Structure 1
Amino acid sequence: MKTITLVRHGKSSWEYDVSDRERPLKSRGRNDAKLVANQFIKSNTVPKRIFSSPARRAFETCKIFMEVFDLSENAVAIEESLYDFGGNDVINFLKNLPDKINDAMIFGHNHAFTSITNIFGDKFIDNLPTSGLVKLNFDIKSWQDLKPGQTELIIIPRELKK
């Protein structure tokens, strides 16, 4: 059994004249990420391995989760291939994870994460919103055998605010 938890970065700010990779989170992005991280930790164990896109907004989102998980940001591996919007690089990243890793969390971007959720999960989502989280389980022994699995959990920030 393999498990991957996908977290889309929080809402980013467009008020700075910076490159896409350097765009920071808005305060709403930080608040939503903390809300989702606190909801996730209530009923789930912390994944054994955590990876983040190098984009500032993704890594800032990841750091918020690390604070909630009471982990150092040193526990996070920055992966260039997670700075992907189509999904192929993320899928290749997953297929090349070491098989000793059974449970991982990755922080990245849309449209990649919505696509991966719909390709490999059993619950369709129209769009994974900013700070949204999806946990997928796979009945496989090797990541190279990645195939559709089961969607265990979806956390959407706006649903936590009702």
Structure 2
Amino acid sequence: MKKLIISRHGKSSWELNVRDHDRVLNQRGIDDGHLVGKHLKEMNIKPDLIWSSTAARALQTATIVTEYIDYSLSKLRLNRNLYTFSSDELKRVIQSCTDDVDTLMIFSHNHGITDFVNRYGNKAFDNVPTTGVVQLIFDTNQWSDITRGSTQFYVFPKHIR
């Protein structure tokens, strides 16, 4: 059994004139990161491995959330391929995970996240919002074999404010 916890980065700021990859979180994105991180701690979420997109807003979200779930930042891995907006590319990245990891958490981007969870989970979402988290479970022991799984839970900031 493989568990995937997939998180969309927090709300980003458009105030600075920077390239997309370098956009940081705005105050709401920071606040929602803390809110969701606290909620995941209460749920006793313990990923074996966390990967983050190299985009500033995704890494910043991952950094905030890891504070709450007692995951060492030294173990957090950046994955440039998670800076994608495609569910097919997202699947390829996830399938590259080593099989000794049972629970993988990733921080990435939309529309890839919404498309992925709708395609591989059993609950449909119009949109996974910023700082939204969805956990999928796959009935396999190999990441390379993931097909349609089931949606175990989802946490959206507006539901826990």
Q: Same fold (TM over 0.5)?
A: yes
Q: Contact (CA 8 Å) 2:139, 2:149: kept in 1 or not? A: yes
Considering only aligned residues, what root-mean-square deviation do their CA atoms show, in Å?
0.9
Q: Quote the Cα distance in structure 2 between the aligned partners of 1:99 and 1:75.
A: 17
Q: Which deviates the most, 22-31 or 38-47?
A: 38-47
Give the aligned partner of residue 27 of structure 1: 27
Q: Which runs of 4+ in 1 moved over 3 A?
A: none
The AA in structure 1 aligned to 2:112 is A
Q: After the TM superposition, which residues 51-62 of structure 1 pair with which residues of structure 2 at under 5 Å, given as runs?
A: 51-62=51-62
Give secondary structure in 2 for the equivalent of 1:153.
strand
Shift of 1:70: 3.0
Give the aligned partner of residue 110 of structure 1: 110
Q: Quote the Cα distance in structure 1 between the aligned partners of 2:17 and 2:33.
A: 23
| Ranges in structure 1 where 5+ consecutive residues have no aligned partner | none
Give the aligned partner of residue 9 of structure 1: 9
Give secondary structure in 2 for the equivalent of 1:44.
coil
Shift of 1:41: 1.6
Shift of 1:66: 1.3
Q: Quote the Cα distance in structure 2 between the aligned partners of 1:44 and 1:139.
A: 22
Give secondary structure in 2 for the equivalent of 1:107.
strand
Q: How many residues align?
A: 161
Q: Quote the Cα distance in structure 1 between the aligned partners of 2:142 and 2:66.
A: 27
| Ranges in structure 2 where 5+ consecutive residues have no aligned partner | none
Q: After the TM superposition, which residues 118-133 of structure 1 pair with which residues of structure 2 at under 5 Å, given as runs?
A: 118-133=118-133
Shift of 1:71: 3.2
Q: Which deviates the most, 71-80 or 3-12?
A: 71-80
Give the aligned partner of residue 155 of structure 1: 155
Identity of aligned residues (%): 37
Instruction: Pick closer, same or farther for the CA change 1:99–1:70 going to 2, 3 Å.
Output: closer
Shift of 1:74: 1.4
| TM-score (normalised: structure 1) | 0.96
Give secondary structure in 2 for the equivalent of 1:5.
strand
Q: Contact (CA 8 Å) 2:4, 2:104: kept in 1 or not? A: yes
| TM-score (normalised: structure 2) | 0.97
Shift of 1:45: 2.8
